[in-house]
Amino acid sequence: MLRPLTSALLLATLALAACGGDDGAGDGSTLASRTVRIDATEYRFDTAAPPAIVVGETIEFDVRNVGRLVHEMQVLDEVGRLLDRTGRIMPGSADTVTVTFDEAGSYQIICDVDDHLSRGQRAVFEVTPG
Ligand SMILES: [Cu+2]
């Protein structure tokens, strides 16, 4: 009984460490299975196509600020819990955030700079079962 539990804990710890390791550094992650580009502007997020993420994927979001104000991007799960976020991104700059999606459901991205969220800078996307 002890051994499988220990392995599971170790895996969970590694996964957490991997998720937290890229906090706004923008150095890219070798863990990501693919990159999804998102443009942030006043007051919305644009992406070329829906990201169509399936459970188990690790996505690097490449967030470009194409607007005139500072933006950021937070990734929230179905119950609004913060999974990870970019740093504050100056106009003309970019940052990345890498998230592993372990559960199917609705996720959202928001910008919580000033009143941007209440102005509608938010988007919802689905993660589907594999
Ligand atoms: Cu914003």
The per-residue pLDDT for 27 is 47
CA of 46 to the centre of ligand 1 (A): 12
How large is the C-alpha radius of gyration of the chain? 15
Residue 8 makes CB contacts below 8 A (sequence gap 6+) with none
Residue 21 makes CB contacts below 8 A (sequence gap 6+) with 29
Task: Please state the rounded mean pLDDT for residues 87-101.
Answer: 97
Domains in the chain: ranges and CATH = 2-128 (2.60.40.420)
Q: Read off the pLDDT band of 21 (50, 70, 90).
A: very low
CA of 93 to the centre of ligand 1 (A): 13
Residue 24 reports pLDDT greater than 90: no
CA of 54 to the centre of ligand 1 (A): 27
**Model confidence pLDDT, tens digit, residues 45-86:** 999 888 899 999 999 999 999 999 999 999 999 999 999 999
CA of 124 to the centre of ligand 1 (A): 15
CA of 112 to the centre of ligand 1 (A): 6
Outline where 1-125 has alpha helix (H): 2-20
CA of 6 to the centre of ligand 1 (A): 42
